[in-house]
Structure 1
Amino acid sequence: MSDTLLVEPSAQSTAARVLGTMLRSREIAVGAVLVLLVVATTLKSSGFVFSSDGWRNLLVTPALLLILAVGQAVVIMTRNVDLSVGSTLGLTAYLTGKVFIAAPDLPIVVVFLVALAFGGVLGLVNGVLVAYGRVPAMVITLGTLYVYRGIFLSWAGSDRVNASDFPRAFNQLGTQEILSIPVVMIIALLVMAAVGYYLRTARGGRELYAIGSDPDAATLYGLPVVRRVLVAFVLSGALAGLAGVVYAARYGTVSSGAGSGMELQAVGAAVIGGVAIAGGVGTVWGAALGAILLITINRALPMVGISDFWQRAVVGALIIAAIVLDRVLAARQERQLVAARDQARHEAVPTTSGAHA
């Protein structure tokens, strides 16, 4: 009897801790919503998953946004934002077509490297202006959004790159599967895993969190704030360039509208996935789940008869709810820290008095 009484509270406290961790984890919450959405839509229309294209579309459609969201998450963690990624994607996708037209026999790997480098250069422009010019990132990247899009429109005009302009092997990247998983999604997952590993294990990754939590304190502590912010923007630009190549392989046709509006989707995916807009909090896993959730919502709601207006309203409500939740959790954590500090000071007073006595 006594053994039972001793074990049960421990088991209950462990279960409570596990439940509390699950409730505080944005990634688990977003994943649970995603699973419920897929299950509910499948019950309404089995073709959503169990059809010739259902499973494939469920995986391949979010790949582009997932790559953009990972790069966006890294930038947001530093208390910045990159609104130029959609234009970078479109410009790089068109560049990919032009490269293949000029050199049809160029290895696909080289084209990927060219796109990464080109996107990284565009991100470097943003990073230099933000980190060295000390201009708010929203202002800079909003400007480069229009500059890059203007260059794209001037270059492409009414012209477009067609699937016939790409090598057959490149076009097959958009349709190939490995163990029933589309290659483009495998690329996106590898990007997520690599960036996530860097953020968790590398010193530079941890410093990005520190900079986002308190840039002034990070500077006083001696962290290379300027260099890390610069790296974050270069990474975001490079991943947008990678997304441009994936876009070209996925759709086969690149026109001047490619990537338009995707920058806001990338920001929304990161925020919904738990990346705090105030910086210093979040994971690329959460951003990836947010991207998959957004795309799945856009596919699922029409299948259950919900109009386009309400699709956008649901996405907007999710973003607002995520931001409000971040502020509530931040305020709660601040109150707990203040209470813990006050308690520590209160407990220290008798000890100090006794020592003097």
Structure 2
Amino acid sequence: MFHRLTSSREVLLSGAIAVLLALVATRFPSFVAPSNLADVFNDTSPLILLAIGQMIVILTKCIDLSVAANLALTGMVTAMINVAYPGVPVAVILLVAISLGTLMGMLNGLLVWKRTIPPIVVTLGTMTIFRGIIFLISDGKWVNSHEMSNAFKAFPRAEILGLPTLSWVAILTVIAFSVVLTRTTLGRAFYAVGGNPHAATYTGLEVGRTQFWAFTISGALAGLTGYLWVSRYAVAYVDIAGGFELDVVAACVIGGISIAGGIGTVGGAVLGALFLGVIKNALPVVNISPFWQLAISGAAIIIAVAVNARASRTKGRIILKSAEHAA
């Protein structure tokens, strides 16, 4: 029982987060105050949303490097709509954001499915295209806080039961996709396609179609996050969330989602995001430049991939040993 607990990525990651918080608290006790931890969770909510979408894509043996560009383009479009038509209800803005993000995700999915282009090539290309479109529609200009309506900016900040709406969106998304991945046919298909594509094909699953839906979900979550990001920070510009795709991939890999596909949980992705979120918020507190976050994220990816690869080899040896004993 103890070995099973200590070998669980979620348990180990939870322990690492607790140790990290304890170390910071030795110098700054107020960092672990409930109100501050709630702020850390709220700051990490956009990363959690994108990590869940990325996790689903990675489960199917793919990767989506365009999520941050999708977020940026959706955020710019919703900001420009708000400036041009300040009276448009937030519900309509949310619908536009999710729809636009979904379309961009579908584009990625179709290129991977129908044209059989490697996912990393597709999403590198669309990432550049999306950033270029932002420049074209905005003419390189920013949309600033004073140009946005109060209702547009208020939605992610509005508190419900003591937590901002942004945090509640992340919590509800975590619950929803935990159910989708564990209780639905589509969720099981994501694992089957990533775990063994050939076997999945024999059981009647179409690998390309399943990957298409994974990219579609990732795009929808990126679109939703685009509006939430721009409205929360009250600014939109070409390079918004630049490089954020690295944090998203890092959160997934740290959370135990295998880049080989078929392995991972929503809980792992959330814990991976929270681990990075705690680091990001703790660095300024302990007088370390936030620019180190990129280096830490990159190092975390390498270490996590190495750990995952070693775990896979260990499992393989155990299976072989079992087979030898059975013979």
In structure 2, how many angstroms separate the alpha carbons of the residues matched to 1:312 and 1:121?
29
Equivalent residue, structure 2, for 1:34: 17
Summarize the alignment of residues 249-260 of structure 1 with structure 2, pairs less than 5 Å apart: 249-260=231-242
TM-score by length of 1: 0.87
Q: Which of the residues 256, 265, 275 maps onto 1:274? A: 256
**Runs of at least 5 residues in structure 2 that lack an aligned partner in the other structure:** none
Correspondence 1:107 to 2:89:
yes
Cα–Cα, structure 1 residues 41 and 316, in superposed 2: closer, same or farther, change >3 Å?
same
Q: Counterpart of 1:62 in 2: which secondary structure?
A: helix
Summarize the alignment of residues 152-301 of structure 1 with structure 2, pairs less than 5 Å apart: 152-301=134-283
Summarize the alignment of residues 72-111 of structure 1 with structure 2, pairs less than 5 Å apart: 72-111=54-93
Structure exhibiting the larger radius of gyration computed from Cα positions: 1
Summarize the alignment of residues 341-356 of structure 1 with structure 2, pairs less than 5 Å apart: 341-344=323-326, 346=327
Correspondence 1:45 to 2:22:
no
Equivalent residue, structure 2, for 1:327: 309
In structure 2, how many angstroms separate the alpha carbons of the residues matched to 1:302 and 1:108?
34
Equivalent residue, structure 2, for 1:302: 284
Moved more, 158-167 or 176-185: 158-167
In structure 2, how many angstroms separate the alpha carbons of the residues matched to 1:185 and 1:93?
18
Tell me how large the CA RMSD over aligned residues is: 1.8
Equivalent residue, structure 2, for 1:116: 98
Runs of 4+ more than 6 Å apart: none
Q: CA deviation at 1:228?
A: 0.8
Equivalent residue, structure 1, for 2:6: 23
Q: Counterpart of 1:241 in 2: which secondary structure?
A: helix
Q: CA deviation at 1:225?
A: 1.4
In structure 2, how many angstroms separate the alpha carbons of the residues matched to 1:314 and 1:97?
32
In structure 2, how many angstroms separate the alpha carbons of the residues matched to 1:330 and 1:288?
22
Q: CA deviation at 1:241?
A: 0.2
Equivalent residue, structure 2, for 1:340: 322
**Runs of at least 5 residues in structure 1 that lack an aligned partner in the other structure:** 1-16, 347-357
In structure 2, how many angstroms separate the alpha carbons of the residues matched to 1:163 and 1:309?
25
Deviations 1:219-271 (A, max 9, x none): 12321212111000000011000000110221111111212111111111111
**Kept in 1: contact 2:247–2:297 (CA 8 A):** no
**Kept in 2: contact 1:119–1:237 (CA 8 A):** yes
In structure 2, how many angstroms separate the alpha carbons of the residues matched to 1:312 and 1:142?
19
Q: CA deviation at 1:125?
A: 0.7
In structure 2, how many angstroms separate the alpha carbons of the residues matched to 1:306 and 1:104?
41
Deviations 1:284-334 (A, max 9, x none): 211111112112102212322334565444333322121111111111111
In structure 2, how many angstroms separate the alpha carbons of the residues matched to 1:271 and 1:83?
14
Deviations 1:159-195 (A, max 9, x none): 2222233332331223222232221011011112111
Q: Which of the residues 51, 60, 71 maps onto 1:69? A: 51
In structure 2, how many angstroms separate the alpha carbons of the residues matched to 1:103 and 1:157?
19
In structure 1, how many angstroms separate the alpha carbons of the residues matched to 2:84 and 2:76?
13
**Kept in 1: contact 2:246–2:297 (CA 8 A):** no
Identity of aligned residues (%): 37
**Kept in 1: contact 2:246–2:298 (CA 8 A):** no
Q: Counterpart of 1:174 in 2: which secondary structure?
A: helix
In structure 1, how many angstroms separate the alpha carbons of the residues matched to 2:73 and 2:293?
28
Q: Counterpart of 2:157 in 1: which secondary structure?
A: coil
Equivalent residue, structure 1, for 2:36: 54
The amino acid across from 1:138 in the alignment is I
In structure 2, how many angstroms separate the alpha carbons of the residues matched to 1:90 and 1:308?
21
In structure 2, how many angstroms separate the alpha carbons of the residues matched to 1:128 and 1:154?
24
The amino acid across from 1:35 in the alignment is A
**Kept in 2: contact 1:68–1:239 (CA 8 A):** yes
